[in-house]
Amino acid sequence: MQRRRVKRMLIGAFAASAVLLDAGAAAAQAAASNEQVAITTPPAGSAAWVEDESLGRALPDPATADAPAVAAFFAGLSEAEQDRLAEVYPLVVGNLDGVPVALRYRANRIAVSEEVERARERAADHRLSPVERAAASVRADDTERLLKPGRQILAFDPRGRGLVSEAYGDLATADRISVLVPGSDADLAHFDQTTDPLRSVTGMARALLAEEHRQSPGTRTAVIAWTGYVTPSGLGPDAVTSRLAEAAAPRLLRLLAGLRETGSATLPPTLFCHSYGSVVCGTAAPSIHGSAPADVVVFGSPGMGVQTSAELGPGVRVWATRNPTDWIGNVPYLEFGGFGHGADPTTQEFGAVEVSSLGSNGHTGYFADGTQSLHNFGSIALGDYGDVTRRQP
């Protein structure tokens, strides 16, 4: 009984700290939040895909095939065969790591178009309630934005709140690739933020790519805005446990494995992990292996699920920052009975490289123009470590 009471107190302390220090809207979110259902199964169409024998050989099972096997399979197909699979099974091809990125873009354009059509039909169906029709209309509008010319949708899954990832730059030829892993409330509806772009993962990705080009115009870079997992909703119970991060980590690792097969970059991608996204990165980190350590940058972090960076294994090099006005700094940094996310990554004891975020404000201001955090993020992404400004005591 005493143990359960302590757990409830910890959850209350975490949520109360965040609610009191964030905007009033966050309080409303916390009150309305509920536990999310993680998506861990292959996308729709996978059952029919596995049974398809039209090519005279088995298609790679989305549930079990690794990225090298998928890449080898598609390398053996003609362009016509690839296009046919994308047209018949757009959700499978568009979400399968190891598939050539250009083919994934084409497949996802088909999948997005089909989702827009489905949502428009629901919005016009008078058998549905006004609330359901309005929700369908909003879903159609959110999805249709992904069809704008020039967008490179790397993954799209309309289940639940909607998972979507987008690539900026040329993944196939980039020498340096970065992956942005967002925190709570990242989904299809919040993928694009027009009034405050830096609150969305796409805004962060565009800002990072622009900073890389500013610092090193001749370097071929690409950035992925990765909303490839079900994130916590608001500041509810999911935000204080690692349950969704544990479901997300294998998906992030498959993305990284796919990039090794379909790109030309010899160095591992740099991970930029915001807020709860740093819990995802911390969960995945021990399984990241390569010839060189992968850079993992955490900002606005509630913790990475460990007490020191050494626990994350030799495959990663951790960089951390948090500005003084970020409310996350007032959340209890602890882990007890499955609640909380461990030590503060910005402390000296944690062992990460502490970098400056001078000029940034709040929980989402790290990519604002002119901030030291954006400059440092660009330098880390480019591997220009000597140009990184350390945090002063």
pLDDT score of 291 more than 90: no
Range in 11-20, 196-205, 319-328 the model is least confident about:
11-20
Residue 154 located in a structural domain: no
194: which DSSP letter?
Answer: S
Compute the distance between CA of residue 196 and CA of residue 37 in angstroms, rounded to an integer: 28
Identify the H or E element spanning 245: helix 243-262
Q: How many domains does the chain have?
A: 2
54: which DSSP letter?
Answer: T
Take residue 188 and report the two structure tokens written for it.
């299809």
Higher-scoring residue by pLDDT: 284, 263 = 284
- Ramachandran assignment for 195, one of left (phi > 0), alpha (psi -120 to 50 degrees), beta (any other): alpha
Q: Are residues 16 and 55 in the same domain?
A: no
**Residues 144-161, mean pLDDT to the nearest whole number:** 97
Residue 53 located in a structural domain: yes
CB 62 within 8 A of CB 92: yes
Q: Are residues 171 and 104 in the same domain?
A: no
Q: Are residues 52 and 26 in the same domain?
A: no
Residue 37 located in a structural domain: no
What is the domain range of residue 240? Answer: 2-32+161-387
Contacts of 378 (CB under 8 A, 6+ apart): 208, 211, 212, 214, 215
pLDDT score of 4 more than 60: no
Q: Are residues 213 and 89 in the same domain?
A: no
Q: Are residues 117 and 208 in the same domain?
A: no
Q: Are residues 258 and 171 in the same domain?
A: yes
Range in 28-37, 81-90, 100-109, 139-148 the model is least confident about:
28-37
Q: Are residues 24 and 50 in the same domain?
A: no
**Residues 118-125, mean pLDDT to the nearest whole number:** 98
Backbone angles phi, psi at 70, to 5 degrees: -65, -45
Q: Are residues 279 and 170 in the same domain?
A: yes
